[in-house]
Amino acid sequence: MTSANRSPILKTSHLLGIEGLSVPEATGLLDLGESYVAQSRASNKKAEALEGRTLINLFFEASTRTQSSFELAGKRLGADVLNMSVKTSSVSKGETLIDTASTLNAMRPDILVVRHQDSGAAELLSRKLDCSVINAGDGAHEHPTQALLDALTIRRRLGRIEGLIVAICGDILHSRVARSNIRLLAMLGARVRLIAPRTLLPAEADRFGVEIFTDMKQGLAGADIVMMLRLQLERMTGAFVPSSREYFRFYGLDREKLSHAKPGALVMHPGPMNRGVEIASDIADDLDVSLIAEQVEMGVAIRMAVLDALARGLARNETEPRGML
Amino acid sequence: MTPSGKTGRLAFRNARLIDPASGLDTKGGLLVENGRIADIGPRLFNDAEPRDPEVIDCKGLVLAPGLIDCRVFTGEPGSEHRESLSSASEAAAAGGVTTIVTMPNTNPVIDEPSLVDFIRRRAQATAKVHVAPMAALTQGLNGEVMTEIGLLKEAGAVAFTDGDRTVANARVMRRALSYAATFDALVAGHAEDPELVANAAITESEFATRLGLPAAPALAEAIIVERDIRLVELTGARYHFGQISTRAALDAITAAKRSGLPITCGVAAHHLLLNELDVRSYYTFRKVKPPLRSEADRAAMVEGVASGAIDVIVSSHEPQGADTKRQTFASAAFGAVGLETLLPAALNLFHDGQAGLIHILAALTSTPARLLGLQAGSLAKGMPADLVLIDTDEPFVVDERDLHSRARNTAFEGRKFQGRARMTFVSGACVFTRGGKDAR
């Protein structure tokens, strides 16, 4: 179906964040993602949307999950995929991110997927490169494909997003996943709640059209979806919370706390999980409650959708008249 | 002081003479002899054309003491590729600045009498304007052991500072202040609690949360301001906050001044004109230390200059290169060049009706001269003829390609300003003339 319908979905040639995305663009991506779920389940998973295109995965932070998801998405759409993992230590101080960008630019990729530890890195690259740039996570800023795959997961399970109560729990302060999800879910009409100790809530979080809770039971009351965030181990030892056992006691998701949510509430986690820190194992493994595996599946589908949408933009730009020269 | 003394006479006529030190603001003329101001007055050269070898018709433009910029970082020694004393002096001359007060944050750190001597000699040999070095307050800027304040002062250090670093340890600061007071030395502090601002790139706010940048609360400034005010109370040292950026700091300093403590403070031009939102989408040229603040804090800084609670306006000139600024926002270095935009930015307050011209010029000339004990910043007879001819109305757009500084990292790129230096004189010698429209 996708090769037949090639109407444009995105107005911009990059996906740098949920901010700047319109509701029709977001739902367009979700709809397209839906079609790729079916294709990914078929025996022939291949499509041609990216045939002849070069996709570079440039990861400055290790991420098996996101990188392989983009790799698979690119390959299923027929692109040549190159994975580049740049350890921060090996980027000498002499080479700036912009130098790296011009090197890559000379290889003439069509789409660059970038993950970087600093906020704004994808934006910076998009200004310096000729290709389309997808932000696969920049600092504590945005991770748009994660938010889109979460929205697709929710929509497929519950049939809608509007009016749902979604509780996002954990390390909001450092989380790009939380920022992108807050933006997207609020845009699509969900009621978003944030639950965290004060040390893990960003400044002025209440200005984002969300409700803030520091008590898990109150925050979960009536929630349709419980979205747990990963707590980085190095942030648990007295820096932001005193210990992992104290964190689990007050903010780890177990059966008792989950019982305060709406009956039948579903649990999500962007992975990788710290079992026994932010989520109890029996919840993570309970297929009636946990959407975690489904999130991974939706991840490939939504990334295929994003790649397809950007490729349509590339084709559009290439066929446009180039002026008088 | 730097340039060689000038022989002969130089006459300025038809000037609007502004001398903040004496409160003078009048039409008139000024005569320079041997690099010093020989005469000045409303009737000078009114009736008869002076017969001097060189006469400058100012055509009603403002003739004022050359500016003194109390907070200038250069790269000499150690990072001359960013800025040398010579290139900084070119930028200064183009900005109407005739004395730059240099920070000791170089490599090596200026924490030894021989290094103060080095700066002065290098300046004499290579710089177009006067260079008045501040020396380190603690050895290596490490905040642990005080420097040889007495010897450094003898060598020519005009004040003592760790530049953009805060002495974190209150015991060290207390002793350094006590010791400095022995020599009546001025200490210039930087107010940011180092632990609170560790790794932060921007002021904590809704905007910072949106950008997902590591941020620190603005009160990191007031915490140190309050501490150092108490230490001044205890030790009696003369203390200058190199630059402040928040209302909380301003309020604390205003109260301390009212109680008679020997405390003064400065503000950087960018904190008068820009707020946190000007960082827009990760614009690293506006990553400065302390970071840009809220609009309320920016307005408070303007108010502080207008009321006189803020004593001096500085550029906080800090040259950075492509290697340090072409980075992501969190990884990029702090700092913006400012010598050439200091006067235009300050004049912005005048054009907006927020402060009078003579009041603004005082914060750039007579007040810093008094604070640092410099023979400068005044049009009195006998003073060195460090002068700037200012066209207060000339409109222009800041273009980094026009800068004389070796570094291009201006926070004001593309900004429309009104008014700038037309000619600059150091000890009677012309060190800068703006091309094209010569005032002669």
Per-residue pLDDT reduced to its tens digit, B26-53:
999 999 999 999 999 998 887 777 777 7
A217 is catalytic: no
Q: Which residue of B has its CA nearest to A137?
A: B212
Catalytic residue (one of A2, A27, A45, A65): A65
Which candidate from A99, A138, A205 shows the least CB-CB separation from B209? Answer: A205
A115 is catalytic: yes
Mutate to test the interface with A, among B209, B283, B329, B409 (most CBs of A within 10 A): B209
- CA dist A167 and A192 (Å) reads 6
Cβ contact B215–A98 (<8 Å): no
Q: Which residue of B has its CA nearest to A99?
A: B326
Catalytic residue (one of A14, A53, A116, A143): A143
Mean pLDDT of B106-131: 98
Closest Cα of chain B to A20: distance in Å? Answer: 12
Tell whether A32 is within 8 A of chain B (Cβ): no
Q: Is the pLDDT of residue A176 over 70?
A: yes
pLDDT of residue A119: 95
Question: Average per-residue pLDDT in chain B?
Answer: 95
Strand, coil or helix: A15: strand
pLDDT in tens, B233-289: 999 999 999 999 999 999 999 999 999 999 999 999 999 999 999 999 899 999 999
Confidence class for position A4, pLDDT limits 50, 70, 90: very low
pLDDT in tens, B341-367: 999 999 999 999 999 999 999 999 999
Which candidate from B204, B212, B217 shows the least CB-CB separation from A119? Answer: B212
DSSP-assigned letter for residue B81: T
Of the candidates B251, B287, B293, the one whose C-alpha atom is nearest the C-alpha of residue B271 is B293
- CA dist B209 and B407 (Å) reads 31
pLDDT of residue A321: 53
Q: Which residue of B has its CA nearest to A88?
A: B331
Q: Which residues of A touch B208 (CB under 8 A)?
A: 203
Confidence class for position B301, pLDDT limits 50, 70, 90: very high
Q: Is the pLDDT of residue B4 over 70?
A: no
As for the ipTM of the complex, it is: 0.86
- The residues in A 67-106 lying below 8 A from B, measured between CB atoms, are 93-94, 96-99
Catalytic residue (one of A115, A191, A193, A269): A115
- CA dist A154 and B409 (Å) reads 47
Q: What percent of chain A lies above the pLDDT cut of 90?
A: 77
Q: Is the pLDDT of residue A237 over 70?
A: no
Q: Which residues of A touch B212 (CB under 8 A)?
A: 119, 138-142, 176, 179
- CA dist B160 and B157 (Å) reads 7
Q: Which residues of B touch A202 (CB under 8 A)?
A: 209
Tell whether A206 is within 8 A of chain B (Cβ): no
Q: Is the pLDDT of residue A2 over 50?
A: no
Q: Is the pLDDT of residue A273 over 70?
A: yes
pLDDT of residue B229: 98
Strand, coil or helix: B232: helix
Closest Cα of chain B to A174: distance in Å? Answer: 8
- CA dist A139 and B202 (Å) reads 14
Mutate to test the interface with B, among A118, A174, A200 (most CBs of B within 10 A): A118
pLDDT in tens, B372-410: 999 999 999 999 999 999 999 999 999 999 999 999 999
- CA dist B177 and A190 (Å) reads 58
- CA dist B413 and A309 (Å) reads 36
- CA dist B16 and B28 (Å) reads 6
pLDDT of residue A13: 94
Q: Is the pLDDT of residue B6 over 50?
A: no
**Which has the higher per-residue pLDDT, A100 or A245?**
A245
Confidence class for position A1, pLDDT limits 50, 70, 90: very low
Mean pLDDT of A40-69: 92
Let me know: does B137 contact B176? Beta carbons within 8 Å: yes
pLDDT of residue A286: 95
User: With 0-12 CB in 10 A as exposed, 13-18 as middle and 19+ as buried, what is B418?
Assistant: middle
A66 is catalytic: yes
pLDDT in tens, A106-156: 999 999 999 999 999 999 999 989 999 999 999 999 999 999 999 999 999
Q: Which residues of A touch B213 (CB under 8 A)?
A: 119-120, 139-141
Q: Which residues of A touch B211 (CB under 8 A)?
A: 119-120, 141
End-to-end CA distance of chain B: 27
A143 is catalytic: yes
Q: Which residues pair with B265 in a beta bridge?
A: B241
Which candidate from A93, A94, A118 shows the least CB-CB separation from B328? Answer: A118
Tell whether A123 is within 8 A of chain B (Cβ): yes
pTM summary value: 0.91
pLDDT of residue B49: 72
Cβ contact A207–B206 (<8 Å): yes
pLDDT of residue B1: 36
Tell whether A119 is within 8 A of chain B (Cβ): yes
Q: Is the pLDDT of residue A3 over 50?
A: no
Of the candidates B302, B192, B200, the one whose C-alpha atom is nearest the C-alpha of residue B247 is B302
Question: Average per-residue pLDDT in chain A?
Answer: 91
pLDDT in tens, B412-433: 999 999 999 999 999 999 999 9
Q: Is the pLDDT of residue B112 over 60?
A: yes
Closest Cα of chain A to B60: distance in Å? Answer: 47
Closest Cα of chain B to A47: distance in Å? Answer: 36
Which candidate from A94, A121, A176 shows the least CB-CB separation from B328? Answer: A121
Let me know: does B152 contact B117? Beta carbons within 8 Å: no
Give the angle subtended at the CA of B410 by the CAs of B404 and B414, to the nearest 5°. 100
Q: Is the pLDDT of residue B197 over 90?
A: yes
Q: Which residue of A has its CA nearest to B279?
A: A120
pLDDT of residue A314: 86
pLDDT in tens, A292-324: 999 999 999 999 999 999 999 887 777 665 444
Cβ contact A119–B328 (<8 Å): yes
Mean pLDDT of B139-167: 97
- The residues in A 133-172 lying below 8 A from B, measured between CB atoms, are 138-142
Q: How far is CA B353 from CA B306, B347, B350, in A?
A: 10, 10, 5
Tell whether A20 is within 8 A of chain B (Cβ): no
Q: Is the pLDDT of residue B212 over 80?
A: yes
Tell whether A120 is within 8 A of chain B (Cβ): yes
What tokens appear for A21 in the block?
A: 């995305």
Cβ contact A140–B214 (<8 Å): yes
Cβ contact A204–B331 (<8 Å): no
Confidence class for position A5, pLDDT limits 50, 70, 90: low
